[in-house]
Structure 1
Amino acid sequence: MGVSSLAPRTVRGRQSWSARYFARRVVYPWELPSIMRKHIYTGAMGSTYYALINGIFFVYFGNSIGMSRFQWGVMGAIASFLLTAQLLSAVLTQRSGRRKVVWFASAIAARGLRILGILVSLWLWHTGWVQASVVLIAFICLSNFFGAMAEPPWLSWLADIIPERDHGRFWGRRSAWIALSSGSSTCSFTAPSRSRPWRCRVRAISSAISWPRSATAPSGRG
């Protein structure tokens, strides 16, 4: 009796949570300053994340597991082509009418696939598999696909929430904070020191973050 009575409550609780999270609601004028501040803060934190996982450290990591110049070029070309996924996202968002769900699922998939690709390719490189770089390219391209899918619903969402008269000020402040956080996070890990040259410091910190054992992989490890 107790189990049967608790099960429906659990189901209803889960449904009500998802309904509350993804449901549309009215945004009142007094909420706008807090909403804009949160989007600025999250943008700054996101830029720090991408600076550490997608900047010079990622380039060093890719070179360490054996990516060639040709493979870098192929991955860059595919990433540029995958921007066309924004068209698919716009159509999907318009037809489904649930842009928050489309954005949330795409953003989570993009970030998860990027982290998973780095970890899997690193593990394969450590086991001696010479095609670890190919696995990294596949995961990063999938991540870029879902990242492009996340852009249209998010921009459309903010365009409706933030009044038109505040767009310029909001995007200007957000861009300034993003540039500041991205630059400071990158420089803090690559700042020159008296004891080590700039390149050596970058390599030392990159090794601590991305875990490759050496800058030049032994033969047979890609």
Structure 2
Amino acid sequence: MFSYRHAFHAGNHADVLKHTTLIATLRHLMQKEAGLTLIDTHAGAGLYRLDGDYTETGGEAKDGVVKLMAALRAADQPPAKAVSPAIDDYLDLIASFNPSGALRVYPGSPFVMQHLMRAESRDRLKLFELHPTDSKTLSANIAQLDAGRQIAVARQDGFEGVKPLLPPPPSATGSKRALVLIDPSYEIKSDYAKVSACIQECIKRFPTGTFLVWYPVIP
């Protein structure tokens, strides 16, 4: 199971779809002021260098975020203003991690969620990552934010770690709201059954929660 590294796939076409959907969902949920508990069961390393060894090996970003930005430039459409609010938000996020204008850093789902968190609503983020190297890197990346108790990282199986967190603790206004992202590697066949079992258990524990499950259609 430890052969999977998201860095090989960072910024690919699936990431563009997944992260645009995640941003749009968060924007919708954040129309309410009440705080949110955000949970990522398989967080990865959090940040990825698109010019790094892992990413260069697969080159998948070329058919993902790089291709999207190139298409907008070809249409004389500035990358900062695209064709829909969801894509605008996505590209604004990417730009915030690449202030020089050159596309070098790609934010994974932990940093997508962290970027949109609201201090005034006291949103909280819980990240799980079992891979020893990625968990260490994730902790180091998060530590740079100096976010205190707002963000917590655990080297743990997210399938199990998410369960005690549901239902989430009430916000300052007394409401219980949570978004759970479940996106394992699917490198081992048992992940498919674990996702099904996990989501069923989560819904039993917290039926009013919002759950996003990434399920690959390989062909």
Report the structure, 1 or 2, having the larger strand content.
2
Larger Rg: 1
TM class by smaller structure: under 0.3
Normalised by the length of structure 1, the TM-score is 0.21
Report the structure, 1 or 2, having the larger helix content.
1
Higher relative contact order (CA 8 A, sep 6+): 1
